[in-house]
Amino acid sequence: MSRPEPDDVELELFIRALQLRHGYDFSQYTRASFKRRVQSFVTAHGFATIGDLTTRVLRDDAFLAPLVAGLSVPVSEMFRNPIVFKALRDEVFPLLASYPHLNIWQAGCAFGEEVYSLAILLQEAGLYERTQIYATDFNDVALARAQEGIFPSRDARAYSENYVAAGGAGSLSDYYHARYEHIKLDERLKRNITFANHNLVADGVFCEPHLILCRNVLIYFTDTLQNHVLGLFRDSLCRGGFLCLGNKETLDFAPAGKDFVAINLRARIFRLAARAG
């Protein structure tokens, strides 16, 4: 094995600095994608090296928020992978309908695309009035954007097609107003959504949900952190609660994954096993 490259040493020191100075622990993020993201941030902000970025974030607290925002790079779309939303609607909602009150936790809500998608489907299923959705992220910049519910209108067409493929009962345009090249989702969709900062790496059990959506978050975590987060989900969920992951995500490499059983593997929808509840 050759000696480590300067970039890799600098990356270790950067991670350590963020942890010591600011309490953000990225040490259990999958290294290849995290390194690429840090390097993109370094280039985009005109730093010469990761080391220079470390110096800046050690001394300039105001630089932390844009850095965290830059490192979390949320990417999603409304009704992303429509078959998943269709499966939630057809296979999970009927089982949730027996509860007088529902909590749903979307962990890692990015700009809110999927939260609003969920609110629309719940409304159409007649469940929204009794539902509280908690949409969390560790990125405050993304949370603020999510709360606005404003998206570029160039995406509206794809979102509408996804909505139809997800089994939407009407037209997506029933739920937004278009103006200034943007679409703004109906304010009323927010009435049962609480946006909150929650960091899956550091924070504890949350809100006793009946359903957790956490899509394309675990792919960024090492096996160890995946296991920690799945344990957190297990301990948070109600008895018999549901977990929905991203389309390529797997429970295979975390012992805590054994506490869940797949009810629709293609849509990555799992249920807390009876012995674990």
Partner 1 sequence: MNPASPAAVVMGCSAGGLAALRVVLGGLQAQLPAAVVVVCHTGSEDIDTLVGLLARYCALPVEEAGERRRLVGGTVHVAPSGYHLYVEQDRRFSLSVDPKVCFVRPSIDVLFESAAQVFESNLAAVVMTGANDDGALGLRAVRAHGGLAIVQDPAEAMAAVMPATALRVAGADHVCSLAGIAPLINQWCA
Residues interacting with partner 1, by CB under 8 A?
2, 5, 30-33, 36-37, 73, 75-76, 216, 219-220, 223, 246, 248-250, 252-253
Compute the least distance from the CB of residue 109 to partner 1, in Å: 14
Residue closer to partner 1 (CB basis): 5 or 181: 5
Half-sphere exposure at residue 211, Cβ-oriented, CA atoms within 13 angstroms: 27
Residue closer to partner 1 (CB basis): 33 or 173: 33
Compute the least distance from the CB of residue 123 to partner 1, in Å: 27
172 Cβ contact partners less than 8 Å away, ≥ 6 residues apart:
78, 120, 156, 159, 160, 163, 164
Compute the least distance from the CB of residue 250 to partner 1, in Å: 5
Compute the least distance from the CB of residue 234 to partner 1, in Å: 19
SS3 of residue 29 by DSSP: strand
Residue closer to partner 1 (CB basis): 76 or 153: 76
Burial class, 115, CB count within 10 angstroms (exposed 0-12 / middle 13-18 / buried 19+): buried
Residue closer to partner 1 (CB basis): 102 or 267: 267
What distances in angstroms separate CA 273 from CA 92, 189, 198, 267, one per listed residue?
A: 15, 32, 25, 18
Alpha-carbon torsion (172, 177, 179, 182), positive or negative: negative
Compute the least distance from the CB of residue 244 to partner 1, in Å: 16
Residue closer to partner 1 (CB basis): 237 or 251: 251
